[in-house]
Amino acid sequence: MKFNKLGSSDIDVSAICLGTMTWGEQNTQAEAFEQMDYALDQGVNFFDTAELYSIPPQATTYGSTETIIGHWLQHRGKRDQIILASKIAGPGEGWVDHIRNGRSRFDRQNIEAALDASLSRLQTDYIDLYQLHWPERKTNFFGTLGYQGKGDDDFTPIEETLQVLAEQIEKGKIRHIGLSNETAWGTMKFLQVAERMGLSRVVSIQNPYSLLNRSFEVGGAEVALREQVGLLAYSPLGFGVLSGKYLNGAKPEGARITKWPDYSRYMSEQAVAATAEYAALAEKNSLSLAQMALAYVNSRPFVTANIIGATTMGQLKENIASIDVELSSEIVTGLELIHARYPYPSP
């Protein structure tokens, strides 16, 4: 396994991070235990979860993933071997009304309530990386490429959010803070406010990044490198699309998009066409499409960790093994040519 510093912190995290959002929905606790055991044995020390999980979000499974991880931590007694990341949900009226009535904000009341509940479910005294799952303000995330806001919306002042998080660090409940689904402007504002107030800096940003969505490169990559706020890349396989399993109209039984067709972010006409070309390039070079796609993400200098997820052990083993795949310059050139034809098929 390879390791990188978590932003400006002194923590070393595995370049492959174990994503967990299927546990409690597509995966049972026993299957999740097997995944965590195997990942740790392969050198993966970085696990990422959220109060929102499992996915798709619903009241009946809210917090189930954290609960499963908490049971594993208690059964295995290996808390000190894991860098554990979780997230507080942002506002989501009409979408996640089961989480604080859909009105979650990044203020004292909501942060303290969410954090204490996560700690209880995880059966731990602290979370290594606590992240804001999506911005409270109205901006472009979750499949929206361009900013359509007017800049006049109401959201908790960043000063207040950082102050409350700093207090949780002082109490020992969290070690570091991070952002998720955030813009370059938002990231820089958090950094500026932290510097001005002498508060803890964010050390990471968890955004989508894959061969089907390279929008982070436009503004986020430079921020990540220059400010030591490394990318934790999620959906590196585009909901499994970049495994090739949905090509030619296939609908594998039990697969996420088969079960929930509304998860169509990576199934646009352009995305399907791009995936077919990536698959052909992988086959030409005797690579699996999934490993080629993951290896590309692994190779980017602004990426701290690649968050892989799996519903089967076969998928998990293949995904983790991508850390040992080196892409030739010819393959990278081929990838860039395809990207030029299909720049942003899945924002």
Q: How far apart are CA 85 and CA 192, in angstroms?
A: 23
Q: How far apart are CA 296 and CA 317, in angstroms?
A: 17
Taking only the tens place, the pLDDT of each residue in 325-336 is 999 999 999 999
Q: How many domains does the chain have?
A: 1
Question: How many CA atoms are closer than 13 Å to the CA of 139, on its beta-carbon side?
Answer: 16
Taking only the tens place, the pLDDT of each residue in 78-113 is 999 999 999 999 999 999 999 999 999 999 999 999
For residue 120, the model assigns a pLDDT of 98
For residue 312, the model assigns a pLDDT of 97
255 domain-assigned: no
Q: How far apart are CA 27 and CA 14, in angstroms?
A: 23
342 domain-assigned: no
261 domain-assigned: no
57 domain-assigned: yes
For residue 51, the model assigns a pLDDT of 98
Measured at the CA of 265, the angle between CA 28 and CA 255, to 5 degrees, comes to: 30
Residues 203-226 as b/e (b if ≥16 CB within 10 A, e otherwise) read bbbbbbbbbbbbbbeeebbebbee
Indicate which residue of 38, 53, 234, 263 is catalytic: 53
How many other CB atoms sit within 10 Å of the CB of residue 238? 24
**Contacts for 41 with CB less than 8 Å, ≥ 6 apart:** none
Our answer to whether residue 130 is catalytic in this structure is no
340 domain-assigned: no
For residue 153, the model assigns a pLDDT of 86
**CATH code (residue 13):** 3.20.20.100
Q: What is the domain extent for residue 204?
A: 3-239+303-325
For residue 152, the model assigns a pLDDT of 80
**Contacts for 40 with CB less than 8 Å, ≥ 6 apart:** 78, 81, 82
Residue 154, class by beta-carbon neighbours within 10 Å (0-12 exposed, 13-18 middle, 19+ buried)? Answer: exposed
Q: What is the mean pLDDT of residues 57-71?
A: 98
289 domain-assigned: no
Q: What is the mean pLDDT of residues 216-228?
A: 97
How many other CB atoms sit within 10 Å of the CB of residue 275? 27
For residue 3, the model assigns a pLDDT of 98
Q: Is the pLDDT of residue 198 over 90?
A: yes
Handedness of CA 54, 60, 63, 65 (dihedral sign): negative
Q: How far apart are CA 140 and CA 275, in angstroms?
A: 24
Phi, psi of 301 (to 5 degrees): -65, -20
Displacement of CA 245 from its chain's centroid (Å): 21
263 domain-assigned: no
Q: Helix, strand, coil shares of the chain as percentages rounded to 5? A: 45, 15, 40
312 domain-assigned: yes
End-to-end CA distance of the chain: 30
For residue 144, the model assigns a pLDDT of 86
